[in-house]
Amino acid sequence: MADEVKCTRSLYELSIPAVANQFLNYKKYLKYLPESVLFDLYHQLYKDKKLCLLGVELSDLNTFSRMLKVTNRRIHLLKAFQALMDHETNVGNELATSYTTWCTTHKENTAVHEKIINLGLRLGGFLSDAGWYPESEKVLISCRNLCLSSTQNSETWCHTLDCCHKLLHAQAAYNSFIGAAATYKLALDTIKKLEKSERKNANHAALYAEFSVLFFIRNEYDLAYKWSVDALKELKPFLPGYIIVNVLRQAAKSCIVKRDYQKAGLLMKQAVYLAREVFDIDHPKYSDVLLDYGFYLLNSDSIVNSVAVYKLAYEIRKAIFNKYNLHVAIAHEDLAYALYVQEYSSGKFSQASTHINRAIDIMEKLLPEKHLMLSSAKRVKALILEEIALDSAPANGSDQNLFFKSETLHLSALLLAKDAFGENNVQTAKHYGNLGRLYQSMRRYQEAEEMHLKAIGIKEELLGPDDYEVGLSIGHLASLYNFHMNRYRDAEELYHRSIAISLKLFGKSYSGLEYDYRGLLHVYTKLEDHEKYLDYMDALNNWKELRDKNAESEEPPIEKKCPEPLENVITAFFSM
């Protein structure tokens, strides 16, 4: 008989479940326990699924403030907090309300201001990390107001900037643009005050990165890039790792939308390597970086790797935040769009449909009806529905029904984008372009042309004539002229312009070139220009060979490398 393997548990490990099992009997003594021990008791309640009891405990601001001090167990606290929110204990709003009451009650007691401000920064930051942005904003607004009511000196100005940093993050992530604009202005005014004080050399890398995030989400790419470069200039090796990671990934995203893929790749890969080293691979901050890396891969035409990275980011977020959380919804949406792009030529959109429907389900549960984030997810669903309608055989008008659903979603997204950003914005232009493609599919050709021309006009004005987005819309208009309006010379001119943009940005193996080459083959067939037809048949065949070679040599999605010294990365960036 084989020897039994015995697992010896320490007295402490045995006592935690025992005390948790008799929690109410011991409750009056718990305030004397160290934070780490108390945390273990609450985590045991979470594991035992005693969520009502745990909710009562963690809704108390004094208790929760102690748990926030146990920084090495943050993932466990995030999981427990999400379980309470799923259990509809409303613990987030109760904590935010309690904090607001504290700020009001102690407004005149300046002796405790610093303590309450520091708590607000920790609590607001946690709620934002947990994906509960309205609650985070509520806390941080109260914290900001307390900062502004305190004695004004360089110390309180630093607190105000810390608060602006966290508040701006929550407001931008939740698309609260009016509040974010006010926070941005306050931050700039406070920086000016600090520059005239003894703290004039304060480091603003983290704050500048948040400025960049705000303008990125507002599709104001020149300002997003400007602030991200300013943040890079402020980076120093002594800064906390999470700040360095955030600056690198945001600067990389800004480079992507400015179509500087070499700089973007340098920064994004270093952000991934450093995030893995700082946070490990099961941390939500690592998933944040992976989502940005997926965005880089998708935009730089590495679609298969993009899907793989998005899937990994989604799995990390799902493991921490379970189902009904905005972090999970965003991961579903990003993955859905990448799958849609990947399967565009195959017509197999079942996975993309599953993920986008899940994203919308979560957002409809957590967001107001006409929230801009929900609009973004519905736009992705509209694109998928359109392709399903095109690829399915018409039966009892089912394809038309899908088209009408897609149109409703696109029009709703357009109205929300115009309300949030105005007419002259890249996001608004994208919605016009989406409607143009849809109307082309619905055989409403004049309306399709009108939408494409609007999209091209806005994009050219904002991004210049040679941007990727301009090339995309030009290619769509060329397709309309070519296949539906018999305007072959107009189509020819647009295809050549689209190809020139693609070659300039991505090179000869870019995936999107296939559609332009095939479009020109159709044009020259109709024009009976056999010489040019053969030229572009050769171009298409050469493109296929390059794609096959690239597929064989493609790197794995995430290389296991150590990050380069920060000084080397910054020097390399500015020397490009």
Q: Tell me the C-alpha to C-alpha distance, in Å, between residue 102 and each of 145, 163, 169.
A: 12, 17, 23
pLDDT in tens, 78-136: 999 999 999 988 999 999 999 999 999 988 888 899 999 999 999 999 999 999 999 99
Looking at every residue in the chain, the average pLDDT score rounds to 93
Give the confidence band of 398 by pLDDT, cuts at 50, 70, 90.
low
Q: 445-482 burial by CB neighbour count: b if 16+ within 10 A, else e?
A: eeebbebbebbbebbbebbeeebbbbbbbbbbbbbbbb
- pLDDT given at position 9: 78
d(CA 40, CA 80): 12
Residue 10, helix vs strand vs coil = coil
Residue 161 has pLDDT above 90, yes or no: yes
Is residue 67 within 8 A of residue 41, CB to CB? The reply is no
Give the confidence band of 554 by pLDDT, cuts at 50, 70, 90.
low
Mean pLDDT along residues 389-402? 69
Helix/strand/coil (H, E, C) string of 123-191?
HHHHHHHCCCHHHHHHHHHHHHHHHHHCCCCHHHHHHHHHHHHHHHHHHHHCCCHHHHHHHHHHHHHHH
Q: In the structure encoding, which two tokens stand for residue 547, read together?
A: 């794609």
Q: In the structure encoding, which two tokens stand for residue 471, read together?
A: 């090339």
Q: Which residue has the higher pLDDT, 365 or 110?
A: 365
Q: In the structure encoding, which two tokens stand for residue 54, read together?
A: 């745990």
Q: Which residues make Cβ contacts (< 8 Å) with residue 254, sequence separation at least 6?
A: 212, 216, 221, 224, 225, 228, 229
- pLDDT given at position 397: 55
- pLDDT given at position 350: 94
pTM score of the predicted model: 0.93
- pLDDT given at position 391: 77
Q: Which residues make Cβ contacts (< 8 Å) with residue 205, sequence separation at least 6?
A: 231, 232, 234, 235, 236, 239, 243, 247
pLDDT in tens, 432-451: 999 999 999 999 999 999 99
Residue 559 has pLDDT above 90, yes or no: no
- pLDDT given at position 1: 42
Is residue 258 within 8 A of residue 224, CB to CB? The reply is no
Residue 184 has pLDDT above 50, yes or no: yes
pLDDT in tens, 312-362: 999 999 999 998 999 999 999 999 999 999 988 777 899 999 999 999 999
DSSP string, 356-394: HHHHHHHHHHHS-TT-HHHHHHHHHHHHHHHHHHHHSPP
Exposed / middle / buried, residue 509 (Cβ in 10 Å: 0-12, 13-18, 19+): middle
d(CA 381, CA 347): 14
Q: Please state at what angle helix 61-68 crosses helix 35-47, rounded to 10 degrees.
A: 100
- pLDDT given at position 59: 97
d(CA 561, CA 277): 10
Most distant CA atoms of the chain, gap in Å: 91
Mean pLDDT along residues 534-551? 91
